[in-house]
Chain A
Amino acid sequence: DGGITQSPKYLFRKEGQNVTLSCEQNLNHDAMYWYRQDPGQGLRLIYYSQIVNDFQKGDIAEGYSVSREKKESFPLTVTSAQKNPTAFYLCASSGGQGQETQYFGPGTRLLVL
């Protein structure tokens, strides 16, 4: 089955710790995205990548970092600089190059201990 997988489903972070959320897709999509979802605020774009080895900041990139070394993978690191990391994180991908429909993974919920 083609799709997007995110792991883990739940992640706990201790103060001062960096944590990495995984996102993998086997849809052969060029573009990948990370969104943060907070209650009552919809989804906000953190980072996106339209092609391997290239990525751009979204609207709320501070305290986060990403890499795009492989087409199918777009991991997100929540650094200790992100002071309010508790949220639901969603990864998405799209074909890019005018194919703008984004498909979403099941999400990772990050909680602070």
Chain B
Amino acid sequence: AQSVTQPDIHITVSEGASLELRCNYSYGATPYLFWYVQSPGQGLQLLLKYFSGDTLVQGIKGFEAEFKRSQSSFNLRKPSVHWSDAAEYFCAETYNQGGKLIFGQGTELSVKP
């Protein structure tokens, strides 16, 4: 069965430090991959997506992600974290099966001043 794994349940970084959130997908063929962010009690906001082409994709709020087929990974990065980045981050994939998204468990990001 398809699955998405986010190994880190909770990460704490200092403001201004770099960030990398890990995501591994299970399917061998090229999936459609997404990163979403959710603030408490809110809906999900799309940060970026990968469908094909350049494996390094840029998103909103200074985030980027790199698709690595050999590692089945799609890690999210940001060079300098701001306090407002504290939220929960979800990685997701779909294989065009009616557009059904498979979500990871989420990674909660805390930012220290």
Contact residues of B with A, CB < 8 Å? 9, 32, 34, 36, 41-46, 49, 51, 90, 94, 96, 98-101, 103-106
Contact residues of A with B, CB < 8 Å? 4, 6, 31, 33, 40-45, 48, 50, 56, 58, 88, 90, 92, 94, 96, 98, 100-107, 109
Q: Kindly list chain A residues whose C-beta atoms are within 8 Å of the C-beta of B105.
A: 40-42
In the complex, how many angstroms separate the beta carbon of A16 from the nearest chain B beta carbon?
A: 28
Q: Kindly list chain A residues whose C-beta atoms are within 8 Å of the C-beta of B94.
A: 100
With A40-B105, A101-B49 already in contact, the answer to whether A48 and B43 are too (CB < 8 A) is: no
A31–B43 contact, CB under 8 A?
A: no
A100–B103 contact, CB under 8 A?
A: no
Inter-chain contact count A-B, CB under 8 Å?
A: 60
A48–B99 contact, CB under 8 A?
A: yes
A107–B43 contact, CB under 8 A?
A: yes
Across the interface, B43 reaches (CB within 8 A) one of A42, A56, A58, A90, namely A90
With A42-B106, A101-B34 already in contact, the answer to whether A96 and B99 are too (CB < 8 A) is: yes
Across the interface, B42 reaches (CB within 8 A) one of A4, A94, A107, namely A107
Give the complex CA separation of A90 and B103 in angstroms.
13
With A42-B105, A100-B94, A101-B49 already in contact, the answer to whether A94 and B99 are too (CB < 8 A) is: yes
Give the complex CA separation of A74 and B104 in angstroms.
25
4 closest pairs, A vs B, by CB? A104-B43, A104-B44, A42-B103, A106-B43
